[in-house]
């Protein structure tokens, strides 16, 4: 899951470029230029805010299904909150629909 979400996490999603920067196999791992830029700007190249896995889960946890019954004698219905652009992007990266179970 973290690998799929890497483009919007503080995680290096360009492992080949990071590996190319490492001249010695026993040297400390290097981050790719893309990952360094993402961390410095705190936004992706398409201006999406970058998150840690924990803060992304907290953001996704704000989505909910509200059970609404307008009056006692009217039928109840469920209304889903609308996902933000970041939440939609996370679901796209995971290839899932935010309306699961509905």
- Reported as a single tens digit per residue, the pLDDT across 56-92 is 999 999 999 899 999 989 999 999 899 999 999 999 9
* pLDDT tens digit sequence for 10-31: 887 777 776 777 777 777 777 8
pTM attached to this predicted model: 0.72
Nearest-angstrom CA–CA distance, 29 and 9: 18
Q: To the nearest 10°, the Cα dihedral for 38, 41, 47, 50?
A: 60
């Amino acid at each position: 899951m973290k690998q799929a979400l890497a483009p919007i996490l503080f995680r290096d999603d360009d492992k080949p470029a990071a590996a190319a920067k490492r001249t010695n196999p026993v040297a400390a791992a290097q981050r790719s230029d893309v990952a360094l830029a993402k961390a410095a700007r705190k936004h992706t190249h398409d201006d999406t805010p970058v998150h840690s896995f924990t803060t992304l889960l907290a953001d996704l946890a704000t989505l909910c299904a509200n059970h609404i019954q307008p009056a006692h004698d009217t039928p109840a219905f469920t209304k889903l909150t609308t996902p933000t652009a970041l939440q939609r992007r996370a679901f796209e990266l995971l290839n899932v629909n935010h309306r699961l179970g509905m």
